[in-house]
Structure 1
C-alpha cells in the first residue's frame, strides 16, 4: 500500500474510533438532560388525567341527579292496563277486577324503566366523558400546560358540555323509542310469572296494554334543558384553572 492512501485510512479509522468511544458519554449526557428537563413530558398526561377526573366527578353527579327526574317522568308517562276475562260455567265470559294486579304490574314496569334508563345513561353518556375531555383539552392546549388550561378553562368546559349534550339528546331518543317496547315486554313477563291458581283465577285470561303519553316529549325537553344549563359549571371552570 502506498503511503498516500495509507494515511487517510489511518485517519478515518482514528476518527471512527473516537466517535464510537464518545457516543456512550454523549448518550449518557442526553439521558441526563432528559431526566432533568423532562418534567413536562410527565406533567402533561398528569394534568389531562386531573382535568378528566374533575369533569367525570362533577358532570356525573349533575347527570345522575337530573336523571332522577327523567326516570320519575318516564314512569308517569307510561300507562299500564290489565284486562281479564273469566269463564263462568265454562261458557259465559265475565270481567274480573284486577286492580291490585294492575298496581303490581305498574310497579314492576316502573322498576324496569328506571333500571334501563340508568344503564342507558352509563352507556350513551357517562362512558364518553373521558374521551370528550381529552379531545377538547388536547385541541385547545396541545401541551396541556397549566397556563393554557387556566386561560381556556371556560372554553374547554363549554366545548365538553356541548359534546355531552349531544349524547344527552341521543339518550332521550333511545329512552323514548324503547319505553313502550320495554313496558310491554315487562308486562308479558309479569303475567307469565303470575300464579293464577294461587289467586283463584285459574280460568282467567289476562291481557296487558302499555301506552306512552305524549307528555313524554315535554319531560324529555326539560331534561335536555336542565343538562345544558348545569353542565357549564362555574366550579368545574374554577377547578381546572386552579390546577
Structure 2
C-alpha cells in the first residue's frame, strides 16, 4: 500500500473510533449490558426462589403445627394433676377442706395457663425457628441451582425431606414438654401459694403445700401429636405451591 493511501485510511479509522466512543449509549443498551454482567437473565434469582420456598413452608407448617398444638396443650393440661394440702394451727377452723378445694380450682387454672404458654414458646424455639434452615438445606441438596424446573420436578421430594427434618424437631419438642411438665407446674404452684393471703379468708396460721402428678396417659397423647404432625406436614398444597413457582 502506498503511503499516500495508508495515511488517510488511518486518520479515517481513528476519527470513526473516537466518534463511536463519544456517542451516548441508549437506555436499552445499558440495560442489556447490565443484564449481561448479572448473568444475562431478568428472571427471579436463586436466592429469591429459595426465600420464597422457605416462606411457603413457614406459613403452611406454622399453621399446621399451631393447630396440632391446640390438642397437645389440652392433653398436657389434663395430664397434670394438682393437689393442695392445708394445715391449720387452730383445731376449730371450719370448712377448711372446702376452701382448699376452691383454691385447687384456681391453682389448676393458673398452672394450665402457664403450661399452654410454655408449649407455645417451646414450639417457636424448638420447631418453628428451624424451618427456614431446613428448607435451605434440602433445596441446596436437591436443587443446587434452585431453578424453577428442578423445584417443580422435585417439589414432592423437597416437601417430604423438609417434613422429615421438622418432625425430628417435633419429637424434640415433645421430649422437652414431657420433661418440663411437672417442674413447671410445681414452680407455678409455688408462686400461686406465695400470693395467697389466707388470713384474709379468716384462716389464721394456715400453711398450704402443693403436690403435682403427671398421668401416664401423657405418653399416648404425645405419640398422637407426633403422628398427626408427621401426617400433616407432607402437605399437598405446599407441594403444589412449590411446583407452581
Judge same fold: TM > 0.5, yes or no. yes
Structure 1 residues 32 and 171, CA gap change in structure 2 (3 angstroms) = closer
TM-score normalised over the length of structure 2: 0.83
CA contact (8 A) 1:88 1:94 kept: no
| Structure 1 segments (4+ residues) deviating >6 Å | 92-95
Task: Give 1:39 shift.
Answer: 3.7
2:113 matched to 1:111? yes
Q: CA–CA distance in 1 between the matches of 2:53 and 2:197?
A: 54
Describe the SS at the equivalent of 1:142: coil
- Structure 2 equivalent of residue 16 of structure 1: none
Q: Which residue does 1:185 correspond to in 2?
A: 187
Q: Which residue in the other structure is 2:9 paired with?
A: none
CA-CA distance at 1:35 after TM superposition: 4.0
1:209 match: secondary structure: strand
In 1, Cα distance between equivalents of 2:35 and 2:46: 20
- How much does 1:195 deviate? 1.3
Aligned to 1:80: 82
Secondary structure (helix, strand or coil) at the match of 2:89 reads strand
Provide the residue aligned with 2:240 in structure 1. Answer: 238
Tell me the SS of whatever aligns to 1:37: coil
In the TM superposition, 1:197-236 aligns within 5 A as 197-236=199-238
- 2:50 corresponds to 1:48: yes
The answer (yes or no) to whether the contact 1:48–1:134 under 8 Å persists in 2 is yes
Once superposed, what is the RMSD of the aligned Cα atoms?
2.1
1:88 Cα deviation after fit: 2.0
Equivalent residues of 1:161, 1:232 under 8 A apart: yes
Find 2:153's aligned residue among 151, 154, 159: 151
Distance 2:205 2:63 in 1: 50
Q: 2:68 aligns with which of 50, 66, 69?
A: 66
| Count of matched residue positions in the alignment of Structure 1 and Structure 2 | 214
**TM-score, with structure 1 as normaliser:** 0.83
SS at 2:198 equivalent? coil
Q: 1:18-57, aligned counterparts within 5 Å? A: 33-35=36-38, 37-39=40-42, 43-57=45-59
Instruction: Write the distance in 1 (CA, Å) between the matches of 2:207 and 2:118.
Output: 29
Unaligned runs of 5+ in 1: 1-27
- 1:139 aligned residue: 141
Determine the structure 2 residue equivalent to 1:96.
Answer: 96
Residue 170 of structure 1: aligned partner: 172
Contact 2:82/2:210, CA 8 A, preserved across alignment: yes
Aligned to 1:17: none
Structure 2 residues without counterparts, runs of 5 or longer: 1-29
Contact 1:86–1:94 (Cα < 8 Å) also in 2: no
Tell me the alpha carbon deviations over residues 139-173 of structure 1, each in whole angstroms, 9 at most, x when there is no partner. 10011000000000000000000000000000000
